[in-house]
Structure 1
């Protein structure tokens, strides 16, 4: 196997892993929070709190 073929195979093997790492590097991951009916998400306490209606 020639050096060029070996290097091409190495690059093609490593490229998907590097591309995947680049996409998520430094990104803030967010999740969707759903609360039960009658409550809402409070970002300060990071919990579901009951909705107060007056």
Structure 2
């Protein structure tokens, strides 16, 4: 029973580490704005396009 507990604990520890490692290559998050708007990097929001 001790081996099963150790393997389970190892899996529970390794899963979040592996998931976090998969995201290390991303330098920025993507943002999708609605039609007629564009992303404003300064404010971090979508702004209505005028003109």
Q: Calculate the TM-score normalised by the size of structure 2.
A: 0.55
Pairs within 5 Å for 1:12-31 = 12-23=7-18, 24=20
Over 3 Å off, 4+ runs = none
User: Cα RMSD between the aligned structures?
Assistant: 2.7
Larger radius of gyration: 1
Q: Could you list the runs of 5+ residues in structure 1 that have no partner in the other structure?
A: none
Equivalent residues, number: 46
- TM-score w.r.t. length of structure 1: 0.54
Gaps of 5+ in 2: none
